[in-house]
Amino acid sequence: MIAAVRSEVSVNEPVLHVAFELGKKSWKLGMTSGFGVAPIVRTVVSSDWRAVEQALGIARRRFGLPAETRIVSCYEAGRDGFWIHRALLTRGIANRVVDSSSIDVKRRHRRMKTDRIDAVKLVHMLVRACAGEAAVWSEVHVPTLAVEAARHGSRERSALTQEQTRLVNQLRSWLATMGATLPKQRAAGWWQTVRDWAGAPLPVALQQRLARVHARLRLVADQIATLETEQAQRVARAPADSAVRRLVSLKGVATTSAAILIDEGLVWRAFTNRRQIGGLLGFAPLKYESGETSRDQGISRSGNDRLQATMVQLAWSWVHWQPHSVLTRWYLARFGTGKRARKIGIVALARKLLIALWRWATAAVLPTGAVLTPA
């Protein structure tokens, strides 16, 4: 287990601030001792921790800091994930993982951008954040290693489902060029029975291509079935009072949807209020007001993409399977007239539903009027 490292900084305490600008081949370290001190930048080979220690030693001597000086660091979330964060914690360095989209940039048409400039800017922001300035940036909630590993199952299933849809669309498009349609029931060798617009068999080259895609489709379907079986087994082994078991006990919430909600952080992110839940999902209204100008820009698309897609599907399922719940009655009363209104309103229902599911999963507060599946 990695011990937590204190990240708060006292004004009178000597601290070395370090910002990592990560690259595939090299890292740039921007380092300073606080406000008003010009940062220094050192370049090290990626993952060379010995070189990192040497760079930190150089910075301590440059700023006149003792060897036992506390170190706080940060880096932008990206392709390297969270292993660097865990490695820094094991070395006694308090680290913060920053959401790169939350960092302000100049709005000029062209601006200077280099890794060195980014490292210096990031370390300046780190000093401000450690001094207690609010809204400097948004930080990423780092999952535990077990939670991060558990997400691979549901994410792999989502990727395979998308691949399955893509392959089926390919089959349809190729057959459309011949004036043919894709059969709903596709047994082995179905491409040999399909006829073109003139009633003739498909060209041999096209049949061979269809056969290869059909084989890939079978493989994808088998892998999806395997993952779904593993998900069902994990849910069955979970304690009766666990969050995932509570979710699947609700009528209209399936095992796959519950697994995605849990894996994407419904519980492990340790939310404390409904606004934090809404921030994870997005789908928030965007107002633009300046002087006498006021207009609605629709809804925010920022948020977890997988969670957004899952919650929209769950919202439609909730309306169907939970017709007597307060959420469904609210949705039908406000958006029940007109196809367009229902599509717009389902997004609002998805946001409210996620908050209700969070309360049920974490505090056992059943959504008002909701029905549980028979045991």
Tens digits of residue pLDDT in 246-257: 999 999 999 999
Q: Per-residue pLDDT tens for 121-166?
A: 999 999 999 998 888 998 998 999 999 998 999 999 999 999 999 9
Beta strand pairing call for 15-22 and 70-76 = parallel
> Is the model's pLDDT at 303 over the cut of 70?
yes
Percent of the chain with pLDDT over 70: 96
d(CA 123, CA 116): 11
pLDDT of amino acid 5: 54
pLDDT cut 90: percent of the chain above it: 71
Q: Please give the pLDDT value at position 9.
A: 57
- pLDDT at position 290, please? 78
What pLDDT does residue 53 have? Answer: 96
Whole-number average pLDDT of the chain: 90
15-130 fold:
Nucleotidyltransferase; domain 5 (3.30.420)
Residue showing tokens 């009633």: 199
Structure tokens at 325: 């719940």
Q: Kindly report, residue by residue over 41-93, the tens digit of the pLDDT.
A: 999 999 999 999 999 999 999 999 998 999 999 999 999 999 999 999 999 99
Task: Give residue-wise pLDDT tens across range 305-330.
Answer: 889 999 999 999 999 999 999 999 99
- What whole-number distance in Å separates Cα of residue 177 and Cα of residue 34? 66
Mean pLDDT of 180-192: 92
Q: For the chain, what is the HEC assignment? A: CCCCCCCCCCCCCCEEEEEEEECCCEEEEEEECCCCCCCEEEEEECCCHHHHHHHHHHHHHHHCCCCCCEEEEEEECCCCCCHHHHHHHHCCCEEEEECHHHCCCCCCCCCCCCHHHHHHHHHHHHHHHHCCCCCCCCECCCCCHHHHHHHHHHHHHHHHHHHHHHHHHHHHHHHHCCCCCCCCCCCCCHHHCCECCCCCECCHHHHHHHHHHHHHHHHHHHHHHHHHHHHHHHHHHCCCCCHHHHHHHECCCCHHHHHHHHHCCCCCCCCCCHHHHHHHHCCCEEEEEECCEEEEEEECCCCCHHHHHHHHHHHHHHHHHCCCCHHHHHHHHHHCCCHHHHHHHHHHHHHHHHHHHHHHHHHCCCCCCCCECCC
Summarised one tens digit per residue, pLDDT across range 199-243 is 999 999 999 999 999 999 999 999 999 999 999 999 999 998 999
Predicted pLDDT of residue 1:
40
CA–CA distance, 119 with 299 (Å, rounded to integer): 33
pLDDT of residue 109: 64
Question: Which amino acid would we find at residue 262?
Answer: I
The mean pLDDT of 297-302, rounded to a whole number, is 73
Per-domain residue ranges for the chain?
15-130, 147-237, 245-363
Range with the lowest mean pLDDT among 170-179, 244-253, 292-301, 336-345?
Answer: 292-301
Burial class (CB in 10 A: 0-12, 13-18, 19+), 294: exposed
> Taken in order 130, 135, 140, 144, is the CA torsion positive or negative?
positive
pLDDT score recorded for residue 342: 93
pLDDT tier at 25, thresholds 50, 70, 90: very high
CA separation for the pair 45, 6 (Å, rounded): 27
